[in-house]
Amino acid sequence: MIYSTNRILTTHAGSLPRPAGLRDQVMAKSRGDSIDQSALDAELKSAVAEVVRQQVGAGLDSVNDGELSKSNFTDYVRSRITGFEQRPAATRRRLEITARDAPKFPGYFEANPRNRFLGAPTMPVCVAPLRYVGQADLQRDLANFKAALKGVSVSEAFLPANTPGTIEHWMANEHYASEEEFIYAIADTMAIEYNAIVDAGFQLQIDDPDLPDGWNCLPDITVPEYRKYARIRVDALNHALRGIPKEKIRLHVCWGSFKGPHADDIPLKDIVDIIFRVNAGSYSIEASNPCHEHEWRVFEDVKLPKGATLVPGVIGHCTDFIEHPDLVAQRLVNYAKLVGRENVLAGTDCGIGTRVGHPTVCWAKFNSMAEGARRATKILWAKGSKKKKAAPAKAKAAKKSAPAKKAKKAAKPVKKAKKAKKAKSRARGR
């Protein structure tokens, strides 16, 4: 775990641009198509080494493998666990992230059907005990990342992994007796991956968009009901993380990466205590888009857990505009003034590698974030910047001295009158 001790450090949420040919092979494998595995392994090793060098070159301090081996940040799990079968999606309840927006903006989703996030025509249904079977793929990822880090200097190396609550979004249950038993079974299954990442010497990033965006998937639920729903899933996640020191864990949460209205995202203030319930040492939150940028003010009233760091998204995927470094710096300074400069790292709203219009846009955003962090550092480490708490004491001293100044001012006319009377008396004596 790292702190911004002498300057604002930089990181990101995970997904980075994939070379076109590599992405095609990874997607083919995820579909179950026949591929040349040895050729894919060789290309992955080379691509991971290159993407690590690109991150360092872009000014990132905390880097990962770009998630290059994964079809996406959630569905990769399908190839690493067993105990389910694919069924037509129409036969099962599917949690849709746009379920709150769709009834309010039907015309928008009719015009932009791809933004509806309906997913694949089939979905996994759990029909037997869940087991982790992804050891080979996981060990390949660990080995590729270790090899890529040789010869480069970084402050931190992390690998992301999916959470039980998010996996539950796309997997139905016909085997376990209850919803809670099912979510804990997923937790026990994924704990194998979590521990392997930490045992390999890397920071574990837990990707849990479910924590905020589950609200969008359940349009008929109330805030109190949702808080209960979220707490159960956080408790299951903590069960999976048991035994891992919290300083080895970063939690990433967001409100979903889909491009749409986001008119009913649950406010951060309504779930921030549940987010901090996760046994993590660092918390990465979506914070740079039009729906959530204002929520830095939540930290005027809410304190970070002791010893924790905050990684607000200061660049994002909702637009291909390149955030100006001064805007990045402004966002960082807003958070640093509330939670302490050493406790803030610059981050991204979500993984932006596959969510912006072109890889060059992604890397330009990172360059701007690194420059913005440098500008924020100049502001936050400027001479006298640590003396801001002295102002109240000075004001208090000034307030205390005010009555004395007032009394001194009032005494002046009296003293002047006495002097005049004395002079008049002397004149008569002459």
The CATH number of whichever domain residue 206 belongs to comes to 3.20.20.210
Half-sphere exposure of 181 (CA within 13 A, CB side): 9
CA angle 351, 356, 359 (to 5 degrees): 90
Report d(CA 319, CA 77) in Å as an integer.
Answer: 28
Q: Do residue 251 and residue 377 come from a single domain?
A: yes
DSSP three-state, residue 358 = coil
144 close to 45: Cβ distance less than 8 angstroms: yes
Reference 7, options 314, 373, 366; nearest CA is 373
Reference 48, options 19, 74, 90; nearest CA is 19
Q: Do residue 289 and residue 412 come from a single domain?
A: no
Q: Is residue 394 part of a domain?
A: no
Count of structural domains within the chain: 2
364 close to 28: Cβ distance less than 8 angstroms: no
Q: Do residue 279 and residue 330 come from a single domain?
A: yes
Backbone phi, then psi, for 282, in 5-degree steps?
-140, 145
Positive or negative torsion for Cα 166, 169, 174, 176: positive
Q: Do residue 408 and residue 323 come from a single domain?
A: no
What pLDDT, on a 0 to 100 scale, did the predictor assign at position 384?
A: 63
Q: What is the pLDDT along the chain (430 residues), one digit of tens a residue?
A: 999 999 999 999 999 999 888 988 988 888 888 888 999 999 999 999 999 999 999 999 999 999 999 988 778 899 999 999 988 876 655 678 889 999 999 999 889 887 776 556 788 999 999 999 999 999 999 999 999 999 999 999 999 999 999 999 889 999 999 999 999 999 999 999 999 999 999 999 999 988 999 999 999 999 999 999 999 999 999 999 999 999 999 999 999 878 889 999 999 999 999 999 999 999 999 999 999 999 999 999 999 999 999 999 999 999 999 999 999 999 999 999 999 999 999 999 999 998 899 999 999 999 999 999 999 999 999 976 654 443 444 444 444 444 444 444 444 554 455 555 554 444 444 3
Q: Do residue 233 and residue 190 come from a single domain?
A: yes
Q: Do residue 405 and residue 303 come from a single domain?
A: no
Give burial (CB, 10 Å; 0-12/13-18/19+) of 327. middle
Give burial (CB, 10 Å; 0-12/13-18/19+) of 73. buried
178 close to 220: Cβ distance less than 8 angstroms: no
Q: Do residue 72 and residue 100 come from a single domain?
A: yes
Q: Do residue 409 and residue 359 come from a single domain?
A: no
Positive or negative torsion for Cα 156, 159, 160, 161: negative
Q: Is residue 330 part of a domain?
A: yes
Q: Which residues are bridge partners to 250 per DSSP?
A: 205, 282
Report d(CA 123, CA 393) in Å as an integer.
Answer: 62
Report d(CA 195, CA 202) in Å as an integer.
Answer: 10
User: Listing from the earlier edge strand, what are the strands of the sheet with 172-173?
Assistant: 81-88, 122-132, 172-173
98 close to 116: Cβ distance less than 8 angstroms: yes
Range of the domain at 423: 399-429
What pLDDT, on a 0 to 100 scale, did the predictor assign at position 420?
A: 52
Q: Do residue 215 and residue 248 come from a single domain?
A: yes
Q: Is residue 3 part of a domain?
A: no
What pLDDT, on a 0 to 100 scale, did the predictor assign at position 169?
A: 87
Q: Do residue 413 and residue 275 come from a single domain?
A: no
189 close to 81: Cβ distance less than 8 angstroms: yes
Q: Is residue 197 part of a domain?
A: yes
Q: Is residue 262 part of a domain?
A: yes
Q: Is residue 387 part of a domain?
A: no
Q: Is residue 162 part of a domain?
A: yes
Report d(CA 204, CA 282) in Å as an integer.
Answer: 10
Report d(CA 200, CA 336) in Å as an integer.
Answer: 32
Q: Is residue 393 part of a domain?
A: no
Backbone phi, then psi, for 221, in 5-degree steps?
-95, 150
What pLDDT, on a 0 to 100 scale, did the predictor assign at position 118?
A: 55
255 close to 247: Cβ distance less than 8 angstroms: no
What DSSP state is assigned to residue 280? -
Q: Do residue 290 and residue 198 come from a single domain?
A: yes
What pLDDT, on a 0 to 100 scale, did the predictor assign at position 427?
A: 45
Report d(CA 216, CA 353) in Å as an integer.
Answer: 24
Q: Do residue 258 and residue 354 come from a single domain?
A: yes
Tokens of 113: 């059907």
CA dihedral 9, 12, 14, 20 (to 10 degrees): -110
